[in-house]
Amino acid sequence: MTVGWGIIGMGNIADKVTAPAMTEAKSSRLVAVMRRDLNRARELADEHGAARAYSTVEEVLEDDEVDAVYVATPVHVHAEQTIQAAEYGKHVLCEKPMALNPEEAQRMVDACDANGVKLMLCYYQRFNRRHQKIKELIASGQIGKVTAARVTFSGFGPDNPQSWRQKPELSGGGNLMDCGSHCVDLLRYLLGDVTRVSALVSTIAFDYAVDDTATMLLEMDGGTHAVVSSHWSTLIPDQQESSVVAIYGTGGTIVSTPQQEKFSRGSLKLMTRTQQTEYHFEESTHVQMLDAFAASIESDEPIPITGQDGVAVSKVIAAAYQSAREGKAITIL
């Protein structure tokens, strides 16, 4: 099946990553792009080979050639636009974080279910071939029983009055919402559900009204301990330090970097008492993600990253903020 796509919110991530992936993926065809600045929308449509450019959400949803929409707007309108798309009968790929809170996220799931359309979350790191290999190595017992994990996702994000991510009413939170949500979803993909959360969430380096530094201690289903460190407050030029996934077990260790790479490039090392093996991959995470979504629409099989996965991540992030406020561990219900 070839999915006709409409992009709602043709910003940086859509322009630089997702629209090119739609052009490359055999399962996808970019039909329309939407941006409030119509002239800019037309420029981007020409650049990416889209048939049409619009300045309103309604125009995209009324386009009969659009089968699915990619919602890439600021977080505060994800719920509204996803529900609206569902009511028009369009499938939805929604950027992360899913919504401002778990309640909004659940309403998105309910609307898509009620209208018989697919909802998938854009947690692209599940399609990083290194991460898929980690899951295979864990499942095959290569490192024994997994006891601990560490994910670091760090960057430098100074004050920018133009950035919606630094405005809590638009973003729902700062670094923890933006980077931390990726880390939580990746850990859930590799190790299962999060059952308990303790967190420190602070604004240390900058003056904006959202957090720039967060540390979470997670208890995973089965007892594994996981530490997530996510920052907008650190200048770490070496990605082997700033963007890392490490899984520790009774029989060995897996270390993969950089965590956020969108084309699976980087290094994955398996280390045991008897071997040290390094793996390298090149595939585009977003092309794989789009192909998987199209296959799900065609076959009516469950999608790889469900709306309930998004709700689960939202609950963990909300619990982390609660833990930081109250100074205690929060159990995930």
- The Cα–Cα gap between 209 and 23 comes to 38
- Model confidence over 107-157: pLDDT tens digits? 999 999 999 999 999 999 999 999 999 999 999 999 999 999 999 999 999
pLDDT at site 273: 94
Q: Is the pLDDT of residue 241 over 90?
A: no
Q: Is the pLDDT of residue 238 over 90?
A: no
- The Cα–Cα gap between 249 and 169 comes to 41
Name the more confident of 240 and 56.
Answer: 56
Q: With respect to CATH, is domain 125-284+315-331 assigned 3.30.360.10? A: yes
**Torsion 118-119-122-128 (CA) sign:** negative
Q: Is the pLDDT of residue 1 over 90?
A: no
- The Cα–Cα gap between 74 and 164 comes to 7
Following DSSP, what letter does each residue of 141-189 receive, concatenated? TTT-SEEEEEEEEE-B----TT-GGG-HHHHSSSHIIIIIHHHHHHHHH
Q: What are phi and psi of 119, to 5 degrees?
A: -125, 125
- The Cα–Cα gap between 252 and 263 comes to 26
CATH class belonging to 3-124+287-306: alpha beta
- On whether the CB atoms of residues 40 and 14 are closer than 8 A, the answer is no
Q: What is the mean pLDDT of residues 230-254?
A: 93
Domain boundaries, the chain: 3-124+287-306, 125-284+315-331
pLDDT at site 109: 98
- On whether the CB atoms of residues 124 and 95 are closer than 8 A, the answer is no
The alpha helices in 19-161, defined as continuous H runs, are: 19-24, 38-48, 57-61, 78-87, 102-114, 129-139
